[in-house]
Amino acid sequence: MKTYSDYIQEIEERKSQGLHPKPIDGAELLSEIIAQIKDIDNENREDSLKFFIYNVVPGTTPAANLKAKFLKEIVLGQSVVVEITPAFALELLSHMKGGTSIAVLLDLALGDDIAIAKDAAEVLKTQVFLYEADTDRLAAAFKNGNEIAADILESYAKAEFFTKLPEIAEEIKVVTFIAGEGDISTDLLSPGNQAHSRSDRELHGKCMITPQAQDEIKALQTQHPDKSVMLIAEKGTMGVGSSRMSGVNNVALWTGKQASPYVPFVNFAPIVAGTNGISPIFLTTVDVTGGIGLDLKNWVKKLDENGNPIRNESGDPILEEAYSVATGTVLTINIKEKKLYNGDKELIDISKAFTPQKMEFIKAGGSYAIVFGKKLQTFAAKTLGIEAPLVYAPSKEISHEGQGLTAVEKIFNKNAVGTTPGKVLHAGSDVRVEVNIVGSQDTTGLMTAQELESMAATIISPIVDGAYQSGCHTASVWDKKAQTNIPKLMKFMNDFGLITARDPKGVYHAMTDVIHKVLNDITVDEWSIIIGGDSHTRMSKGVAFGADSGTVALALATGEASMPIPESVKVTFKGEMKPYMDFRDVVHATQSQMLKQFGGENVFQGKIIEVHLGTLTADQAFTFTDWTAEMKAKASICISEDDTLIESLEISKSRIQIMIDKGMDNHIHVLKGLVAIADKRIAEIKSGEKPALTPDANAKYYAEVVVDLDQITEPMIADPDVNNADVSKRYTHDTIRPLSFYGGVKTVDLGFIGSCMVHKGDMKILAQMLKNIEEQNGKVEFKAPLVVAPPTYNIVDELKAEGDWAVLQKYSGFEFDDNNPKGEARTEYEKMLYLERPGCNLCMGNQEKASKGDTVMATSTRLFQGRVVEDKEGKKGESLLSSTPVVVLSTVLGRTPTLDEYIAAVKGINLTKFAPPHKLLAK
């Protein structure tokens, strides 16, 4: 019984950390526990019973499979356990929510013992996580005249698994807790540097916000036992940056309700809020758990007598408090009236949080149950030969006669499922869509695997064209945590049907390419919908949505996603780019000019940015679409000219072929299929049968932004503004400053070139700058460390073939070695060039980090506090974001360059150029 004794030892170790026993997912341990339960005289029997009843992970885990089979023995009387009656065994099966438990319930319901069959059928009527193997059995039994099967199908057709759930309370009392002032990133709720523990929910919960905040939440719960604690982003948006199911799980763990008494550390129904609402992808994650997200609007612009905003010295609107939500304030969410109250005083209308669809999520305890329930109802009605009664809120279909379609509206109309035939849908419609490409990343992948197990999925949906499991977020350091977690993840996903960065069999070389870059390459049709487990899942082909691990799991299992069609903001360009500017400066200037054009209002927030780049290939255009996550947009679409799109698709084909040549294709030949899709799309464009996607000329937009390239006269830097007196203005990505602001005197302690924001051209710019500096100065000497992490191995290989990698090697003091990867994160840096392994590196913040208190100049995307660099006593860490040439020059000088120094340094270098499209990209 060594496995059991090891488990007991682990329990003792966890006690010292204030943790309960870890939930059981392995068959070997549960097998020992069952043996001890059967042994009446065993000294461990009482504890074993508790572990079996209360501490087994449900779904399709090996432990869940074993538990379900043992419960079947008890129901049938083949095993007798005094403490677990047949009725209790059925109740336990009802909480296992899919997988073998459904197979067991079907065995019992379709068996010969009528009494048992009827009892099992009553349990089955409450279940929704059925797959084809399960529904095929039911259909076959019904056709053979089985009355129990008919009874179950009739219940499913009426959707009694939903209609018989308790109704939502008309009022919910909440007590407020200010989690932070300003935008709250998911890093605060689930820090990237604790990613290794996300699948251990109780342990990971210890990292939410701070221990002090956790104590305050507990104190509020003690003082207000009849109320829910509502976490608030005061003067900010809740959940920016990433979708992070782990962040929502943590909030639910501390403030939500337990989903089942027999399933440990799985809570639901968290309540979160923000002065500026909830980040769109975070709100989707809240929906997964049946939670509530409120847009408080408790700080409003102060107006003068003419109704115009009053501004401060910096030109920002002055805000005044409309009502207080200070920690400890008791409020009432009136769901019937869809309003927020303080006592009898009405504060704000909150109807957007309680649409018919969201009300269903809340009632069902999460969106998964609704997705599977609708599918199950449709199946049952079809099998019975009847029309499914209207139970769920009908899909919201908005259509405006004579109005054209934006690019995203066109894509949604093409991919919509279950909508009124022939009806053209516009923004605001709520639809189910087929998903073409899915991406799972490695620090949330273990949770995605857990979600797949919990919804009893065993194989990828045949609807999905391609799916990829990355290894980029754990690329930098192959430590014990990564060695434990990542191979297990890769095997699960490879077996499930994904292309995986690492081969569980060890045949092909491990690839740690940045997930967004790989998804950008395997997206071979600009009409695609992409779902990825990271907020930067924003392709320059198709429309991509960053999503939580659960939504990724749902897309993998069903090939579908549900969401409203978002409104779009159209971005076009005029003027001419200065020869010494880089396209990254255009990206930053877009945000800056947009804020100026709209008086400080971010019109991108929650919208699709339809950017008319036209002339940039997908590699280069990705710099813009990637940054739209920092613009707080829901997603982005790149409108390309025909020839540019063909060039992008050819690049994708070549890179997919390299993956095939490496042996990465799987048994269903996903990669080969993607090449065929690309060939078909290229042929359609060349023949004129189906040109590159463009919006209609009479499409309607939420706003239109025109970026004037003539105004961009010097490099632009996104500054975290760490010392702004207004805390809510820090770390927002909205402070965009020209290089001259720093006067050539701001110290730079470390430079970073890497992450998803750079492409092959950036690496070539770096190589050329180093050659130029040596030619001008006789040598290259770094006054600050420069860390370089190419985004993909393909790029490294291409640089080697073209001679640029040799240049980088010449000036580097460290080069990654896949045969001997680093086992520990670097904490100190010498003043030299580091050539790091392809992957996220510093941008992720979960492995490598700058020294505390450093000022970092980076090509990265993240300004969040503590992400790239943490504070130290007396000095705040700050990460300024800029173009590759600015980063290079800053590390050579050890400070920000002047504009003259910059122009001299980039002379003759082929920077990432951009010119507006040759023609209007609309028809």
Reported as a single tens digit per residue, the pLDDT across 782-815 is 999 999 999 888 899 999 999 999 999 999 999 9
Both ends of the chain: CA-CA distance in Å?
72
Is 360 a residue whose pLDDT tops 80?
yes
Quick one: pLDDT at residue 243? Answer: 65
C-alpha Rg value of the chain to the nearest Å: 28
Report residue 74 as tokens: 């008890």
- pLDDT at residue 770, rounded to an integer: 92
Across the range 746-768, mean pLDDT stands at: 91
pLDDT at site 828: 87
pLDDT band at 923 (very low <50, low <70, confident <90, very high): low
Task: Work out the number of other CB atoms within 10 angstroms of the CB of residue 712.
Answer: 22
Per-residue pLDDT reduced to its tens digit, 845-893 = 777 888 898 999 999 887 778 788 888 888 898 999 999 999 999 999 9
Cβ within 8 Å of residue 513, ≥6 positions away: 470, 472, 501, 791, 792, 793, 794, 838, 839
What are 64-80's pLDDT values in tens digits? Answer: 999 999 999 999 999 99
Span 119-146, pLDDT tens digits: 999 999 999 999 888 999 999 999 999 9
H/E stretch holding 487 reads: helix 480-496
Q: For residues 625 and 598, is the Cβ–Cβ distance under 8 A?
A: no
Q: Would the pLDDT of 913 be above 90?
A: no
CA-CA distances (angstroms) from residue 6 to 10, 29, 289, 848? 6, 9, 33, 32
**For position 843, what pLDDT does the model report?**
80
What are the start-end ranges of the E strands in 306-384?
319-321, 330-334, 339-342, 345-349
**Which pLDDT tens digit goes with each residue over 543-597?**
999 887 888 999 999 999 888 899 999 999 999 999 999 999 999 999 999 999 9
Q: What is the mean pLDDT of the chain?
A: 92
CA angle centred on 307, ends 302 and 310, rounded to 5°: 40
Gap between the Cα atoms of 796 and 785, Å rounded: 21
Q: Is the pLDDT of residue 834 over 70?
A: yes
Q: How far apart are CA 414 and CA 47, in angstroms?
A: 56
Residue, of 223 and 451, whose pLDDT is higher: 223
Report pLDDT digits (tens) over 471-495: 988 888 888 888 888 999 999 999 9
Confidence of residue 185 (pLDDT cuts 50, 70, 90): confident
Measured between alpha carbons, how far is 701 from 692 in angstroms, rounded to an integer?
A: 20
112 pLDDT more than 90: yes
Mean pLDDT of 408-419: 93
- DSSP code per residue over 628-661: TTTTT-SEEEEEE-HHHHHHHHHHHHHHHHHHHH
Burial 521-539 (b: 16+ CB within 10 A, else e): bbbbbbbbbbbbbbbbbbb
Taken as a whole, the chain contains a residue count of 923
Contact 256, 365 (CB under 8 A): no
Is residue 460 within 8 Å of 564, Cβ to Cβ?
no
What tens digit of pLDDT does each residue of 734-754 get?
Answer: 899 999 999 999 999 999 998
Query: Which residue did the predictor score with more confidence, 920 or 669?
Result: 669
How large is the average pLDDT for residues 348-360? 94
* pLDDT one-digit tens code per residue, 464-474: 999 999 998 88
Inter-CA distances, 114 with 111, 298, 338, 363, Å: 7, 60, 47, 33
Give the Cα separation of 766 and 812 in Å (integer).
12
Q: Is the pLDDT of residue 759 over 70?
A: yes
Percent of the chain with pLDDT over 70: 99
